[in-house]
Structure 1
Amino acid sequence: MADDDRAERARAREFFAARAAGWDAKFPDDGPRYAAAIAELAPGKGAFVIDAGCGTGRALPLLRTAVGARGTVLGVDLTPEMLALAAAHRDAAALVQADCARLPLPDAVVDLVFGAGLISHLPGPAEGLRELARVTRPTGRLALFHPIGRAALAARHGRQITPDDLRAEPNLGPLLAANGWRLTSYTDTDERFLAVAERA
């Protein structure tokens, strides 16, 4: 791994480590939007789902309900402090500390990758998307989600949306296409962001 990559990953880990303890308390009303998105994605009973960048694990019980007892739910996060909180959901999912660009999984085993807030925090978006594609079955899906849309999120942080925003459809579509995915649906409203791609 190059020094720049190591530094980026260290910065991402430090960012989330400092915020882990208060993360869920900052956004207590997001649960219903997570539930609605996962219900819409409907991975199906028996599916293998990864929550990539699972953070404190708020999606894990919802994903477990969606895939049932025969399914597999794996929570992956780079930050030990986040995973320590996600451990409260160990009955819903297995947890692993890993970089989304280096997953300890064989090729083509995953049915759905759920990534809440993931794309903006991947130290190397192209590298991460390629690795997620590697572990996903042909026609498996990637769901990039946020409980509020880009404009609402920018306003929350006192910013404006800029044309280089990675999650803008004209930027995200080509990025996905270059790294093993085909964008199949795109929603960006104040209520949520949900971009769904199929494994190419």
Structure 2
Amino acid sequence: MSDDHTRVRDFFSARAADWDNRFPDDGPAYRAAASELGLRPGGRVLDAGCGTGRALPALREVVGPQGAVLGIDLTPAMLEAATRAGRDREGQLLLGDVTRLPLRDGALDAVFGAGLISHLPDPGANLRELRRVVRPGGTLALFHPIGRAALAARQGRQITEDDLRAETNLRPLLSGAGWHLTSYVDEDTRFLALAVRQD
């Protein structure tokens, strides 16, 4: 395991047990974001870096009982917390690495990533890997239940110019990885960037 992976796993392992208690009111924001993925009943979606699986119920609502919902995370403690919360009933949980997904090319209609991009070791290459598993015309959603400024304030820091989530940085990053940014919202109450896989 790389140093980046070890750091991410250590960070989230230490926080897994209390993660959901820290953010108890995020459900409506997840549902609103999931509804914008363009998924239909029977669709196939991956929650990349799913953590405790907070997005899985919202994703299941969109694709219905015939759809496929997968959640993959690097941290066993997060997946254990997801199972304790019963979210394994909403989708299949996989222990794995979003930088090397165990999925065939074009297997999915969409990928959902909550708080994901800031934890990717090589964002350009990793976004290409997410593109690989999505069908042509499929969607990527990069989400956070609060915007960049609100998150920075919560963490007691300032937004910097090199923030990957800034539209001026994110648009070319996505384009270089084969995605076309179609929508960008950065408000206090949510961050949501939607992109479509380019052929």
| Alignment TM class, shorter chain as reference | over 0.9
1:12, 1:123 within 8 Å by CA — same for their partners in 2? no
2:37, 2:139 within 8 Å by CA — same for their partners in 1? no
Give the TM-score normalised by the residue count of structure 1.
Answer: 0.95
Per-residue Cα deviation, 1:84-131 (whole angstroms, up to 9, x for no partner): 111221211011111111000000111010101011111221221111
1:138, 1:199 within 8 Å by CA — same for their partners in 2? yes
Give the Cα–Cα distance (whole angstroms) in 2 for the partners of residues 43 and 120 of structure 1: 25
In structure 1, the partner of 2:165 is 167
One of 38, 41, 47 as aligned partner of 1:45: 41
In structure 2, the partner of 1:12 is 8
The number of equivalent residue pairs is: 196
Mapped pair 1:180 → 2:172: no
SS at match of 2:25: coil
SS at match of 2:2: helix
Deviation at 1:163, TM superposition (A): 0.6
SS at match of 2:3: helix
In structure 1, the partner of 2:96 is 98
Give the Cα–Cα distance (whole angstroms) in 2 for the partners of residues 180 and 40 of structure 1: 20
Identity of aligned residues (%): 63
One of 29, 46, 49 as aligned partner of 1:33: 29
In structure 1, the partner of 2:126 is 128
Mapped pair 1:73 → 2:69: yes
1:51, 1:115 within 8 Å by CA — same for their partners in 2? yes
1:49, 1:114 within 8 Å by CA — same for their partners in 2? yes
Give the Cα–Cα distance (whole angstroms) in 1 for the partners of residues 147 and 193 of structure 2: 11
Give the Cα–Cα distance (whole angstroms) in 1 for the partners of residues 141 and 51 of structure 2: 16
Deviation at 1:40, TM superposition (A): 2.8
Unaligned runs of 5+ in 1: none
In structure 1, the partner of 2:143 is 145
Give the Cα–Cα distance (whole angstroms) in 1 for the partners of residues 71 and 192 of structure 2: 19
SS at match of 2:174: helix
Give the Cα–Cα distance (whole angstroms) in 1 for the partners of residues 106 and 166 of structure 2: 28
SS at match of 1:90: helix
Deviation at 1:42, TM superposition (A): 4.0
Give the TM-score normalised by the residue count of structure 2.
Answer: 0.96
Deviation at 1:61, TM superposition (A): 1.3
